[in-house]
């Protein structure tokens, strides 16, 4: 060692202390980050569970009307008048959501989706009684944009003054049906429902191989997201829970034509039959019971979900007990 060379091995005391402090801080910081990460609860990836409210209008339970005819708009107006008028169900300034069936990217003539004229008329009526907003939505099975375009619902609803909401990924929040066993922590199309006061379901009457028929209760399926097809393993309990999930203000069951076969997609005019009925009811079970027995020619026994929903207190399968008002539009 040559003492005369500036020492590049030794350290001055000041430099030593300085470096020691830096090293100490670095070690302590690394240790701190480690200690903070260990034992940290798993990051919460799920959103808060949301629940739908009760959208029924006070004092209007158990109403039902059945119109006969072919002009859906007039039938709807007359039916609503027959059960007290829409203003009895929607107060001025309320926000209304109309859940249509836009499941398939097919033309209105195929009858696989809610009729656009009917939806447009309902939108206009809601606005006329003073609804602040009318939202029309669905989470379809086929490509959503195509469904709303080809079914004619998108243009008809928007033209009548509604806001059409397509189901963006970010609109879904998990929901759990109270008293349910299947729909638990399941993605629900919640964003358009947030802050809504009234919900009206509009559905056609359709043959459905798995469940027997798709009407107003099955229509709520379009509020679910995720890999909802798994629900077909327990379709009847699922439809029951869907009916438990949504307490609508009204349901509109469109049986002017009934898809009697090849449902729920249809695809040919031969799959449709003229049945000339439109049902408006506060009771979705009663409306579907009417559709099953009077329009599709089934028995209540053929649709186990009806009895299940009735047992769960959603409504009654004995639609006659509601003394439905008959309306003729011919």
Partner 1 sequence: MTIRTARRVTQVFFLVLFLWLCVVSSSGDGFWQRGGWPVNWLLQLDPLVAVGVALAAGTLTVGLLWVLATFVLTVLFGRVFCGWLCPFGTIHQAVGWLGRRRRPLEDRIRLNRYRRWQSAKYYVLGFVLAAAALSALGGWHSSAGSLLTGLLDPIPLVYRSVTLVVLPIVDGGLQRVWITARLADGTVLMGAIFVAAVLANLGIPRFYCRFVCPTGALLGVFSRLTIWRIGRRPEPCTICRLCEKDCEGACNPASDVRSSECVMCVNCIVDCRHDAIAYQVHKSPGEITGPDVSRRGVLVSLVSGLVAVPILRLGGRLTSNWPAGLIRPPGALVEEEFLNRCIKCGQCMRVCPTNVIQPTGAQFGIESLWTPMLNNRIGTSGCQLNCVACGDICPTGAIRPISLDEKLGRGEFADNGPIRLGTAFVDRGRCLPWAMDKPCIVCQENCPVSPKAIFIGEVYQTVRDGVLTVRESAPDRLALAGAAWSEGVWASGDYYVKGVDAPDDDRRRIVQQTSDILRISPERPWSAPPAAGSRVAVQVRLQQPNIDPDKCIGCGVCEHECPVSGLRAIRVTAENESRSPKRSLLL
- In DSSP notation, 164-214 reads EE---GGGEEEE--TT-SSSSSEEEE-GGGTT--EEEEEEEEEEETTTEEE
Cβ-proximal residues to 220 (8 Å cutoff; 6+ apart), any chain? 99, 201, 242, 243, 245, 246
CB of 298 to partner 1, least distance (A): 13
Q: How many CA atoms lie within 13 A of 230 on its CB side?
A: 9
Stretch of 51-59, 77-85, 162-170, 191-199 contacting partner 1, by CB under 8 A:
162-170
Return the number of the residue (201 or 263) whose C-beta is nearest partner 1. Answer: 263
CB of residue 97 to partner 1, shortest distance in Å: 18
Residue 82 host element (H or E): helix 72-82
The pair of structure tokens assigned to 121 is 């008329």
Per-residue tokens: 162: 């509604």
DSSP state of 322: G
179 binds partner 1 (CB under 8 A): no
Kindly report the CA angle at 139 between 271 and 89, in degrees rounded to 5? Answer: 90
By CB under 8 A, which span of 37-45, 47-55, 94-102, 297-305 interacts with partner 1? 297-305
Smallest distance from partner 1 to CB 305, Å: 7
Q: CB 155 → partner 1: shortest distance, Å?
A: 9
The answer to the question of residue 232 lying near partner 1 (CB under 8 A) is yes
- Is position 229 an interface residue for partner 1 (rule: CB under 8 A)? yes
Q: Which of 38, 169, 323, 330 binds partner 1 (CB under 8 A)?
A: 169
Binds partner 1 by CB under 8 A, chosen from 90, 105, 177, 242: 105
State the residue for tokens 């199309």: 189
> For residues 50 and 307, which CB has a smaller minimum distance to partner 1 in the complex?
307
CB of 301 to partner 1, least distance (A): 6
Question: For partner 1, which is the closer residue by CB, 62 or 304?
Answer: 304
* Contact yes or no for 98/304 (Cβ under 8 A): no
What backbone torsions phi and psi does residue 168 show, to the nearest 5 degrees?
-75, 150
Answer for the pair 255, 295: CB distance below 8 angstroms, yes or no.
yes
- Interface with partner 1 includes 197 (CB under 8 A)? no
294 forms beta bridges with none
Residue pair 183/230 in contact by the 8 Å Cβ criterion: no
For the CB of residue 206, give the shortest distance to partner 1 in the complex, in Å.
10
* Alpha-carbon span 9 to 37, nearest angstrom: 38
Residues 295 and 46: their CA atoms lie apart, in Å, by 43
According to the binding rule CB under 8 A, does residue 94 interact with partner 1?
no
Q: Which residues ranging from 114 to 143 are in contact with partner 1 (CB under 8 A)? A: 141-143
- In the complex with partner 1, the residue whose CB is nearer, 257 or 281, is 257
The counts of H helices and E strands in the chain are 8, 11
Q: Which of 74, 146, 247, 293 binds partner 1 (CB under 8 A)?
A: 146
Coil, strand or helix: which one is 327?
strand
Residue numbers 236-275 binding partner 1 by CB under 8 A: 236-237, 262-268, 270-271
| Residue with Cβ nearer partner 1 (115 or 137) | 137
Q: Give the interface with partner 1 as residue ranges (CB under 8 A).
A: 104-107, 141-146, 148-150, 154, 166-170, 208-210, 227, 229-230, 232-237, 262-268, 270-271, 299-301, 304-305, 307-308
């Amino acid at each position: 060692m040559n003492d005369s060379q500036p020492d590049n091995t030794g350290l001055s005391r000041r430099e030593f202390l300085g470096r020691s402090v830096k090293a100490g801080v670095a070690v302590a910081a690394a240790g701190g980050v480690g200690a903070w990460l260990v034992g940290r609860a798993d990051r919460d990836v799920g959103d808060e569970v949301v629940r739908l409210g009760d959208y029924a209008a006070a004092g209007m339970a158990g109403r039902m009307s059945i119109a006969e005819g072919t002009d859906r708009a007039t039938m709807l107006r007359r039916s609503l008048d027959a059960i007290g008028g829409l203003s009895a169900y929607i107060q001025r300034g309320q926000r209304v959501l109309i859940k249509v069936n836009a499941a398939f990217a097919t033309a209105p003539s195929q009858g696989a989706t809610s009729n656009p004229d009917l939806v447009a008329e309902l939108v206009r009526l809601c606005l006329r009684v003073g609804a602040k907003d009318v939202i029309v939505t669905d989470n379809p099975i086929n490509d959503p944009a195509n469904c709303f375009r080809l079914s004619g619902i998108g243009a008809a609803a928007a033209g009548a003054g509604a806001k059409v909401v397509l189901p963006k990924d970010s609109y879904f929040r998990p929901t759990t049906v109270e008293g349910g066993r299947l729909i638990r922590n399941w993605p629900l199309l919640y964003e358009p429902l947030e802050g809504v006061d009234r919900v009206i379901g509009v559905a056609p009457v359709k043959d459905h191989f798995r469940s027997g028929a798709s009407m107003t209760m099955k229509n709520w399926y379009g509020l679910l997201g995720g890999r909802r097809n798994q629900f077909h393993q327990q379709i009847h309990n699922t439809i029951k829970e869907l009916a438990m999930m949504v307490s609508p203000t009204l349901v509109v069951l469109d049986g002017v034509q009934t898809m009697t076969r090849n449902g729920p997609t249809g695809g040919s005019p031969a799959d449709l039959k003229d049945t000339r009925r439109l049902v408006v009811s506060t009771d979705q079970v009663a409306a579907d019971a009417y559709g099953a027995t009077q329009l599709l020619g089934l028995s209540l026994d053929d649709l186990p979900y009806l009895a299940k929903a009735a047992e769960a207190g959603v409504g009654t399968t004995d639609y006659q007990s509601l003394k439905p008002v008959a309306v003729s539009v011919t």
